[in-house]
Structure 1
Amino acid sequence: MQNRPLSHVRVLDFGHYLAGPLAGMMLADLGAEVIRIDPPGGPRWKDPAFDMLSRGKRALTLDLKSAAGRDTALDLVRRADVVIENFRPGVMERLGLGPEALRQANADIISLSLPGFASTDPEFAGLAAWEAVIAARTGQFTDMGLNRRLMGINPSFTPLGLASAYGAAFGAMSVLFALAARDRTGGDHIEVPLASALLEGLVYNCEQVEDYPDRYKSPRELELERRAREGLPNDLSFAELSEFLDPFYRTYTCADGRGFYIVSCSIVNHPQRVLQVLGLGDLLKELPDFDVYVDKADWPADWALRSYPVGARDRQRLSEAMKAAFLTRPSHEWEALFGAAKAPATAQRSTAEWLADPHALASGLVVELDDPRHGRIRQMGNVAWLADDPGTMIKIAGPKPDDVRGDLSCILEEPPRTSSGGQGKGGWLDGLKVLDLTNVIAGPTIGSTLARFGAQVTLVQPVRPSVDPWNAVVFGLHAQRGKESILLDLHSGAGQEALWRMVAEADVITMNGTDQQRASLGLTESRLNEINPRLILVQLDAWGGPRRGPKSDHLGYDDLAQAATGVMTRFGGGPETPEEHAHFGTIDALTGYCACVALGAALERLRVTGKGGIARASLAAAGEMIQAQFMYDFEGRPAFDEPSGRAARGWGPFYRCYTAADGWMFVAAPTERETALARVPELSDLVGCEADLEAELCNRFAKRPVAHWTHAFAGSSTGITPLGSLHGTRNAGLQLESEGTIDICKATFRAVRHDRHPMGRWVDLVAPNAVRPGKAGITIPGPAPKYGQDTRKILARLGYNDTDIQGMIDAGATAESWSEKYLPE
């Protein structure tokens, strides 16, 4: 279909398994012509998930080890815009298709490499980087959240391909930003190590604040500290653990037996809405509510309704009252009532249930198509889209089994692409003015990501905070980096006037909210087009899709998308024991990156057509993306039997966490399997073993240290790595900001200690090094501003004089601070 955002872009997809094909699918879903390059014998990964990732693509079989195959590939490069590959470092060079060879064929080509670890990393570059090897080494399986730590469970295996999901989003985003800037900067080679992307995606679990105040610690964190202090074991049962969960941040059982998850803390009015919906409004008269942007020593009570967590005095009685209330109705009734009341909550579902959910289907979050292999199939929809793109809902299955593998002679007859002549330096987004109207994590991630590529980001927040300091300040330490900050009352005439002055100057506006919330701000498509037809609005929400559905205007957060799309029931082991997937921001950060992909498509369309518009992403869509391997269903589909629950250690004997003599390690031999065992003397007798091979390997591996097994399997496609931890990975790559230049180009992992932070405490944050262009510049954003610190400067830039500004401050239309301290204690 022509006239789609990327219909003029041609992509050569050399990707295999998950990350590369997923990045290619994202571009194909936005209208790009994607040509999948297969080896003789067809794709390496023969799975329905790979068929889904191949939708909308054409296929060509090439033997890249032959001169003819390589020459054909280079001929295609001369007529393409983008090349994607996710081989191990050095493979493309050995095939004669490395970055230099691609650039000689086409000076304007944008090439994307998605290795497991950085190609320049002397320690990890050669490691066989299977998805779980990346996760294990980075620390994804270790200390998987407060629940598992209190239950004494470590490690915790999860089958979710987080590294590939984050890497694909970073990759697609960077390709599109590079394309939009190509007239100025020319072609570029971009490397996105999946392990680097994973660490960035889990940044909120790596964040460390000096002398972190107790007021921001949850009951679970305080219980962990108490047990460590008193020498007690972490051995809570799942039922015991539940009583440490906040009443407004946990799962309840409904009359139909289904779990119902609410995440309604930290936001002004959300707990009140929950209690009103449940018929417990009378309790509100007894519960404290006051400004929490002061030190806890000045609080009139030990907690407030607008701040997480609920105090110990009221936690149990609130939980008991809410448990009883939920038992009076079935989950579907509560879901409708909570949605209408704008109280964030959802029923717990499995992935299979989500794929058949009426809202998922109506909204286009799940699409149906006719597949030549599997018949009528339901699968994940777009994870990034433009609101007015007519082709978003149209999905075409991948190449047929008997396809001639793509007769592309018509393409080879085209003239080579004409060079843009761009040779400039700087960031891809230099000069782009972004107006940021977002809060919490997912929305602010957009602006902080754009800032690293050179965008100028102005953050607008309300005069009176609607979010508590935990969400706004603690999470904002990362999500608000690189921005300037102004406080405005958008309910006032003066605040509205200032906002629209900023809108008139902006190139991009970002917001997280539903269509209803966007309309209430006056950010309608028609009004934005009147002000500036080139303006792009980037919008993300919880349940939005390319079409409207019954839950499109329901509110939600990361954990709710986990609950609705099946992540929590899988991780917890079933509907009776759903658990949050361990890490803060698992979906939040990814949604922000997907919104950047949508923006990249909008910028490329703007470059070609001069037309702006609305770029979209949602938490639910990102929740599908982290489950891409399982996000499909059809008649006769094999069972959803992927590893789940607290006892999961892997997929089986050849892809599993094992205990070595000196600690945990991960062993990945999914293709070699018994062939790998045959090469190791201590294990060769297990080939053809009729006993429990997993148990036998557990016994053998426990006798030698990790280093022994790493050496024993070296030089093969079997990957072995010790299990790292997120904090250990962060600390090993830590550099001090005060020392000057931060090296983000060589090592896979890099973190920064902001030891001169304006809050008066140092803070450790993951460095922005997932995207590594060969030419374009990357900026390490400065510390997040204290909210409102730039109010006067921004208003002056908008044309207000000192008298005007002081009058606006006196009238409450604007302000310079939420609190005396950067971080109230």
Structure 2
Amino acid sequence: MAGALDGIRVVDFGHYIAGPLAGMLLADQGADVVKIDPPGGPRWDTPANATWNRAKRSVTLDLKDPDDLEAARRLVASADVLIENFRPGVMERLGLGADAMIEANPRLIYCSIPGFAADDPRAGMAAWEGVLGAATATYTNAGDGLARSNNPVLTAVPISSSYGAFLGVVSIAMALNARERDGAGQRIEAPLFDATFAAIGSAGLLVHDPAKRSPDRSAGWVNQYECSDGRWVMFHAANQRFIDRFIDKVGLDDWREEGLHLSEEVAEDPEKTAELLRRMTALFKTRTAKEWEQLVSDALVCCSVIYESSEWMREEHARASKQVIEVEDPGYGTMLQPGVNPRLYGSPGEVRGPAPAPDADRDEVLGPWLEGAPEPASPPQTRLLRKALEGIKVLDLCIILAGPTCGRTLAEFGAEVVKIDDPNRPGGVRMHNDVNRGKQSVLLDLKTEEGRELFWKLAGEADVVAQNLRAGRIDLLGLDYEELRKRNPNVVYASMNAYGHEGPWEERPGWEQLAQAAAGMQARFASDRPYRQAFPINDYGTGLMGAYGVALALFHRQRTGEGQHVKAALAYTACTLQSLFFQDYEGKVWDEPRGQDALGWNPLQHLYRASDGWLFLGATPDQLPAIGGVEGLEGAAGLEGDALREFLAERIARATAEEWTERLTAVGAGVAPTRSVRELMADEWVQDHGLSLTREHTEIGLVTTNGPSPRLSRTPPEPGDPASKPGSDAREVLEARGLGEDYERLLAGGVIAIDGVVAS
């Protein structure tokens, strides 16, 4: 069976992380990707190239050579998609800029993934991942609300580059949908700095009135605990249902008698909170980590051993669920790599081969491949779409973060999204103001016969249905894909869960913290104890991968008339996010930065303390002579290793971060002072470009959230209206579908609700 992007030709000029990763995500779904590298091969020699360049064709071209430049133009003229992640202006200077290439090929989708946007004052700066991490508060935000010190902590996970790739391919898939309907290509810009706001998400959300904020009631019920064997587990019982299951499974009736099982009461009583933590700490030391993982999971409560990535890659479930796959690489032998993400079951993606040797496909690509290019399609239609998903109707049954982020992304690109929530769910509608903007809200009890009848009426005209309940839960309601396709054969049905949709852990519940624990993120970030790293990166990333899968499935449906089932998972995303080092092979050395004292990869990719705060310096060894000529750094050029790091640390402490930024960027280095999330969300440029939005929300006043970041020249995403009060759109939704006469009866019967449910 062909992949969703079968027949789509991509020319990939990407380098470093974001561009090649975006090309891989397209190739995994069937695109024919030609990777263009300079003579000698990729600019960065890393084992990760074996992942990012798998199943691509390879051609090396010197873009400063007239003949090779002409060959590049011919390739672009025959392509559907171009990917590049140079600094703004580089491709234009080569004569390969978006305007010129789209003029020559009006159907071309031209995707730029620079570090900083073309209109960002930092556009010309070397945007290393570390520079972006400092600039986006990634290194100063404690994911657990815990921190060993006030120092920044570097994470090895390339969050900005990965999110740039994610939003790049989401935008490409949306643009392909638009082009299939109106025939026109367009320009996409998905800057890495901007893209990181999608990862920041709820960390940047601020309800301005303190009285309207939702309290944290998790107390000791969400925590890492050390076990009898010295290993740690991530335990997560975030609601009363999970707590009660755990109490029953372990036999803690005395805790119930003392009221320690009541999460809200415990959270509001410091003495009870301390007592609960003391007892939980002692309890978990009575069994091994593996024993706790199995026992708690058997009770359908969230618990995972905190694994190393190297352990997870060989864990039975990771292999059975195909989130880790084997690739026979000509250079590394049998290599374990992240699997295909997301999964489409009607047009399944696959890894069709290893990464080629540099220039291995030159003769084929510049000969038969070019000659076999399809004839140019007819000119674009007179009426061009304003929104990529114009007219697409979505039912969003998702909860918390990952699933609703998928629905929010579809809404941003123009889909009409109806968000259905359970009026009786404990805790209300979680993260509502973050992930449900741009949607219509309906509170509908799907456990009632009348509730399901209304669902079927809505689903009958839906193009997409999305849900992220634990595997098996949706089946119990009779609302699963197989049942839905009987009534709506062409529907695209998206399912998202924690650990994946095959394998022994398929039915286990899980949250962001569990994906970080299982896939190795918490272990890498650990010191005296495990720590969760900044931002819910697996949740939001899975929402984006779900939206990517839906867009691919809609594109496939336009070409074939067929709907299908799309699946994404937090654990799939955790593997993809770690693609920089998530490979295993004979001789592999896991040497990426680790722990709460991590400040850098080497002396020239490192966090340093200036006289007034911290900054990240990003440079290459060949820039060291120029750095040694900077005022205050004389003598640096003759140093290396620890001596260079210590020299830079001592000298950089003598001046302000602003002074060092000015001096070092003048010689081509990348520099960014670290920032807090609140500073970032209040930044004037960030607000002016819609990355931070402060708007009035019904009943709670001003709320600050992030906004959409990709820039599409023809079909730009929009944030939509602020999230409405839960349930407040029910009448409008029913009336628009000719069901208005049912409204009062359903409301009186408790099938729908319009009041009494909090947006937490």
Instruction: Tell me the TM-score normalised to structure 2 length.
Output: 0.95
Q: Does 1:568 align with 2:509?
A: no
Please tell me whether the aligned partners of residues 676 and 718 of structure 1 are also in contact (alpha carbons under 8 angstroms).
no
Partner of 1:204: 202
Partner of 2:756: 818
Q: Which residues in structure 2 correspond to 1:72-111 (within 5 Å)?
A: 72-111=71-110
Q: Does 1:750 align with 2:691?
A: yes
Q: Which residues in structure 2 correspond to 1:503-542 (within 5 Å)?
A: 503-542=459-498
Q: Residue 477 of structure 1: which of 419, 426, 433 is its match?
A: 433
Q: Does 1:250 align with 2:237?
A: no
AA partner of residue 582 (structure 1): A
Please tell me whether the aligned partners of residues 133 and 667 of structure 1 are also in contact (alpha carbons under 8 angstroms).
yes
Please tell me whether the aligned partners of residues 82 and 112 of structure 1 are also in contact (alpha carbons under 8 angstroms).
yes
User: What displacement does 1:671 show?
Assistant: 4.9
Q: Distance in 1 between matches of 2:70 and 2:447?
A: 63
Please tell me whether the aligned partners of residues 221 and 236 of structure 2 are also in contact (alpha carbons under 8 angstroms).
yes
Partner of 2:175: 178
Q: Distance in 2 between matches of 1:113 and 1:143?
A: 28
Please tell me whether the aligned partners of residues 144 and 154 of structure 1 are also in contact (alpha carbons under 8 angstroms).
no
Q: Does 1:359 align with 2:317?
A: yes
Number of equivalent positions: 755
AA partner of residue 666 (structure 1): F
Please tell me whether the aligned partners of residues 84 and 111 of structure 1 are also in contact (alpha carbons under 8 angstroms).
yes
Q: Residue 188 of structure 2: which of 187, 190, 198 is its match?
A: 190
Q: Distance in 1 between matches of 2:142 and 2:560?
A: 47
Q: Residue 580 of structure 1: which of 532, 538, 553 is its match?
A: 532
Partner of 1:651: 601
Per-residue CA distance 1:375-396 (angstroms, 9 max, x = gap): 111111122121344553x452
Partner of 1:762: 702
Give 5+ residue unaligned stretches, structure 1: 220-244, 290-303, 736-741
Q: Distance in 2 between matches of 1:164 and 1:309?
A: 38
User: What displacement does 1:684 show?
Assistant: 4.0
Q: Distance in 2 between matches of 1:782 and 1:679?
A: 52
Partner of 1:621: 572
Partner of 2:248: 276
Please tell me whether the aligned partners of residues 59 and 359 of structure 2 are also in contact (alpha carbons under 8 angstroms).
no
Give 5+ residue unaligned stretches, structure 2: none
Partner of 1:704: 655
Q: Does 1:775 align with 2:708?
A: no
SS in 1 for 2:5: coil
User: What displacement does 1:47 show?
Assistant: 0.9
Q: Distance in 2 between matches of 1:130 and 1:781?
A: 32
SS in 1 for 2:326: strand
Q: Distance in 2 between matches of 1:750 and 1:823?
A: 22
SS in 2 for 1:496: helix
Q: Which residues in structure 2 correspond to 1:197-596 (within 5 Å)?
A: 197-213=195-211, 216-218=214-216, 246-265=219-238, 267-287=239-259, 304-305=262-263, 309=267, 311-392=269-350, 394-400=351-357, 403=360, 405=362, 407-408=364-365, 409-415=367-373, 416-419=375-378, 421-422=380-381, 424-466=384-426, 468-469=427-428, 472-473=429-430, 475-545=431-501, 548-573=502-527, 577-583=529-535, 585-596=536-547
Per-residue CA distance 1:119-150 (angstroms, 9 max, x = gap): 012x211111111111111222124346445x
Per-residue CA distance 1:169-213 (angstroms, 9 max, x = gap): 111011011101103341000001110110232021111111324
C-alpha change, 1:552 and 1:648, in structure 2 (3 Å) is: same
User: What displacement does 1:759 show?
Assistant: 2.3
User: What displacement does 1:700 show?
Assistant: 1.3
Q: Distance in 1 between matches of 2:134 and 2:295?
A: 41
Q: Which moved more, 1:163-172 or 1:60-69?
A: 60-69
Q: Distance in 2 between matches of 1:607 and 1:143?
A: 43
SS in 2 for 1:458: strand
Partner of 1:300: none
Please tell me whether the aligned partners of residues 138 and 534 of structure 2 are also in contact (alpha carbons under 8 angstroms).
no
Please tell me whether the aligned partners of residues 117 and 193 of structure 1 are also in contact (alpha carbons under 8 angstroms).
yes
Q: Does 1:152 align with 2:106?
A: no
Partner of 2:34: 35
C-alpha change, 1:249 and 1:310, in structure 2 (3 Å) is: farther
SS in 2 for 1:672: helix
Q: Distance in 2 between matches of 1:433 and 1:309?
A: 41
Q: Distance in 1 between matches of 2:688 and 2:179?
A: 26
Please tell me whether the aligned partners of residues 260 and 347 of structure 1 are also in contact (alpha carbons under 8 angstroms).
yes
Please tell me whether the aligned partners of residues 78 and 417 of structure 1 are also in contact (alpha carbons under 8 angstroms).
no
SS in 1 for 2:701: coil
Per-residue CA distance 1:241-291 (angstroms, 9 max, x = gap): xxxx822111122233221111211x34111112222222443344388xx
Per-residue CA distance 1:506-529 (angstroms, 9 max, x = gap): 100111123312322323333222
Partner of 1:299: none
Please tell me whether the aligned partners of residues 733 and 750 of structure 1 are also in contact (alpha carbons under 8 angstroms).
no
Q: Which moved more, 1:787-796 or 1:668-677?
A: 668-677
Q: Does 1:718 align with 2:643?
A: no
SS in 1 for 2:743: helix
Q: Does 1:140 align with 2:100?
A: no
SS in 1 for 2:443: strand
Q: Distance in 1 between matches of 2:314 and 2:626?
A: 41
Q: Distance in 1 between matches of 2:258 and 2:739?
A: 45
AA partner of residue 343 (structure 2): W
SS in 1 for 2:638: coil
User: What displacement does 1:807 show?
Assistant: 2.7
Q: CA RMSD in A?
A: 2.3
Please tell me whether the aligned partners of residues 142 and 532 of structure 2 are also in contact (alpha carbons under 8 angstroms).
no
C-alpha change, 1:524 and 1:477, in structure 2 (3 Å) is: closer
AA partner of residue 576 (structure 2): M
Per-residue CA distance 1:300-322 (angstroms, 9 max, x = gap): xxxx4379946434323333333
C-alpha change, 1:254 and 1:484, in structure 2 (3 Å) is: same
Please tell me whether the aligned partners of residues 602 and 613 of structure 1 are also in contact (alpha carbons under 8 angstroms).
yes
Q: Distance in 2 between matches of 1:3 and 1:590?
A: 25
C-alpha change, 1:153 and 1:329, in structure 2 (3 Å) is: same
Please tell me whether the aligned partners of residues 271 and 306 of structure 1 are also in contact (alpha carbons under 8 angstroms).
no
Q: Distance in 1 between matches of 2:248 and 2:347?
A: 40
C-alpha change, 1:507 and 1:215, in structure 2 (3 Å) is: closer
C-alpha change, 1:54 and 1:788, in structure 2 (3 Å) is: same
User: What displacement does 1:704 show?
Assistant: 2.5
Q: Does 1:795 align with 2:737?
A: no
User: What displacement does 1:105 show?
Assistant: 2.1
SS in 2 for 1:370: strand
User: What displacement does 1:5 show?
Assistant: 1.3
Q: Distance in 2 between matches of 1:109 and 1:215?
A: 46
* Sequence identity percentage: 35
SS in 2 for 1:589: helix
AA partner of residue 138 (structure 2): Q
C-alpha change, 1:120 and 1:428, in structure 2 (3 Å) is: same
AA partner of residue 383 (structure 1): N
SS in 1 for 2:460: helix
